[in-house]
Structure 1
């Protein structure tokens, strides 16, 4: 019988950081534009007849992304390693369970969508987590993955969030293919603001989520939204996004 792997405590985001994230998500430009990205992907899946259905939100944090999935009709189970995160998510009405991303509490082939939004970078043996995504997906199911990009951006912020790496395109493609997933699309996000993000990351923690004047917040959000109109998705950003599918 296989044994569950030990859970390193360094994988969890500290409670103070979780609370900062929870407080920022409603009004902050970074999280607002990320919700827009996910909404577009969910709408595409609906258009293609690939949802809504059952979903798992891996590394759910305070539960805001799981709530977005639910608003789009997905029957969502959220999981997070952090007890504090699970408590916060449950307080927001999310069905959230404490679980290791490498050992999901779900049967094989039980979900149509697996969301791994900024979780793989926290896991030393991320290949096991990727394999779990493939295991719980139904044949033809979709994985939506977001990871931080490029070790040149590594900073104290990554450490505060419990990350162990940032990714290259090649590394993420290799990880997903190794789990048996077929990458349909991979693209960069937050490209235009990358130089500013790189400059600030080595000077302060939480540059993306610190409070700002509303006009400043809207300007940053507008720059991110502008990327949809420009051919910059192949350039390096601060985040890599991927849509992958488990073959039928």
Structure 2
């Protein structure tokens, strides 16, 4: 992800429909834990998810390859370090929870990165992983964000299981938005896709995601895939 896009995401992250939805999903998953522990946010960007984890009582560490992202995270009080997701500068078996939100799609050697998630988790630890799905949705948006692929459901599960994770749940998000986003993004240039989102459009997208939470659409084709996994213990 280039510096301009990183700075834009840091500015809009608290209000943007997608980042709000993603944090809501993670917050809901945190309810599964009886007590908070040590967590690592891999590919943390400016540290918004790590700040959210800290707000829930977790001892959160943020890792990002971009030194500017690390600086932005530290400026917000996040414990952050520069590091490659394929070679995390972290001890093995040290974390109860690992987040990898929209990270693997940016990495050519995603198998190596998935193996690192397993390495840093303690036995029985949980990983929450999200990826954009379906190469049929590939657009200027993916290019702007520096992605190298989108994932099919089967390929995503195979990647996680091949790294040694047990997949407890795998589900879709963005099902209702899929036809709209596909049409809009295929018509956009990279420059247009980096433009700020109109507040009315942002609110409409937020409401769509709120409606989707109430519908049984977990297995339908969407625009993102989420997985909750465990390191065998």
What band does the TM-score fall into relative to the shorter chain?
A: over 0.9
Residue correspondence of structure 1 range 193-232 to structure 2 within 5 A: 193-204=177-188, 205=190, 210-213=196-199, 215-232=200-217
Alpha-carbon deviation of 1:207? 5.4
Structure 2 equivalent of residue 144 of structure 1: 128
Structure 2 equivalent of residue 34 of structure 1: 22
TM-score of the pair, normalised by structure 1: 0.89
Q: Secondary structure at the match of 1:163?
A: coil
Aligned counterparts of 2:201 and 2:2: Cα–Cα separation in 1 = 28
Contact 1:113-1:143 at 8 Å conserved across structures: yes
Alpha-carbon deviation of 1:219? 2.5
Alpha-carbon deviation of 1:134? 0.4
Write the deviation string for residues 161-214 of structure 1: whole angstroms up to 9, x where unpaired: 11110001111110110111000000001110111110111223575983323x
Distance 1:187 1:207, change over 3 A: farther
Contact 1:150-1:238 at 8 Å conserved across structures: yes
Which of residues 221, 224, 227 is equivalent to 1:239?
224
Aligned counterparts of 1:68 and 1:202: Cα–Cα separation in 2 = 33
Distance 1:85 1:39, change over 3 A: same
Which of residues 77, 88, 104 is equivalent to 1:120?
104
Aligned counterparts of 1:38 and 1:224: Cα–Cα separation in 2 = 15
TM-score of the pair, normalised by structure 2: 0.95
Unaligned runs of 5+ in 2: none
Aligned counterparts of 1:34 and 1:113: Cα–Cα separation in 2 = 16
Superposition misfits of 4+ residues, deviation over 3 angstroms? 205-209
